[in-house]
Amino acid sequence: MNAINQVAIFGGSHGNELTGVFLVKKFQQQPNLITRQSFQTSALLGNIKAIAEGRRYIEKDLNRCFYGQNHQDDKIVTYEELRAKEIQEILFPHNQPGVDAIIDLHTTTANMGLSVILGNLHPFLLQLAAYLSSINPLVKVYYHPQPKYSGYLRSLCDLGIVIEVGAVAQNILDADLFLHTEQLIYAILDYFELYNQHKLSNHVSSFTLYKFLGTIDYPRNDSGDIQAMIHPQLKFRDFEPLQPGKPIFLTFDGKEIFYTGEDTVYPVFINEAAYYEKGIAMHISQKQLIKLD
């Protein structure tokens, strides 16, 4: 791969996830914090209207609106689709080189700690994930495959990375998570710098990756109303093993509902507030040891 020349850091792709919003504002006021010698870094706010209103989005989830430049203009009807087009034009101006890497900052109400989400397994991203896992054992790497231009901001370029931290409520700042996120951003920028200067050493040979397998919805009635809650024994157990037969939901009458899959899985995004409307109670993933050459 060639050198990394341009990097974009995004906060507030979801307007009620304050860690990213305030980190980006900090970087805009103190650009020296994200300045590295061998490449340019910009810090941008995503969903500006939603940030002002303290909501995830106004009409449509912005982080499902990035379909690349070929998306037809006549399909753009919502504020978020318009904002996605503007962002794509900033990141990839016509007849000019676009950004090489995107770092998209998110928070979750699930107990995902300090997570990095990859949308593809580009060898550079695997090396970066291994490096981040090695310098901070708290870092978890989650692989949620997203083809290019699949709607997610990170899908606009090969080196798209999400930092997802939690648990933190929507519209709340948590100082520990803020500091962890900030340090992780600097670690990624430093890695890019070392890469550009051909100074990467301490080769890491393996790391743990959690690979998306699917989603589980809440039990619902015919009208779509939720009929059960996340089971207390599963609550906050993101990235921990869930064995077949273990309880995952508790109905309002106290009846337990059990996991019926055949294999042990590793749930993430358990009880994410923003996913109730998406029909997702949790993602389930598979734990893998990735060996690098």
Pick the closer one to Zn ion by CB: 17 or 238: 17
Closest contact distance (angstroms) between CB of 10 and Zn ion is: 10
Identify which of residues 55 and 235 has a Cβ nearer to Zn ion in the complex.
Answer: 55
* C-beta of 21 vs 129, nearer to Zn ion: 21
Residues in contact with Zn ion by CB under 5 A are 14, 17, 106
What are the angstrom distances between the C-alpha of 114 and each of 74, 132, 139, 183, 267? Answer: 39, 11, 5, 11, 15
Between 61 and 182, name the residue whose CB sits nearer to Zn ion: 61
> How distant is the alpha carbon of residue 283 from its chain centre?
13
Nearer residue to Zn ion within complex by CB, 4 or 23: 23
Distance in Å, CB of 17 to Zn ion, minimum: 5
* Least distance to Zn ion, CB of residue 191, Å: 23
Q: How far is the CB of 61 from Zn ion (least distance, A)?
A: 9
Q: What angle do CA 251, 215, 222 make, to 5 degrees?
A: 50
CB-nearer residue toward Zn ion: 14 or 83: 14
- Based on CB atoms, which residue is closest to Zn ion, 14 or 231? 14
Give me 64's structure tokens.
């499902």
DSSP letters spanning the chain: -----EEEEEE-SSTT-HHHHHHHHHHHH-GGGG-BTTBEEEEEES-HHHHHHTSS-SSS-GGG-B--TTS-GGG--SHHHHHHHHHHHHHS-TTS---SEEEEEEE-SS--EEEEEESS--HHHHHHHHHHHHH-TTEEEEE----TTSB-GGGGSTEEEEEEEES--TT---HHHHHHHHHHHHHHHHHHHHHHTT---S---EEEEEEEEEEEPPPB-TT--B-EEE-TTTTT-TTS-B-TT-EEEEETTS-EEE---SS-BEEESTT-GGGTTTT-SEEEEEEEEEEP-
Cβ closest to Zn ion, residue 39 vs residue 178: 178
Q: Return d(Cα 154, Cα 167) in angstroms, integer.
A: 22
CB of 272 to Zn ion, least distance (A): 9
Distance of closest approach, residue 78 Cβ to Zn ion, in angstroms:
17
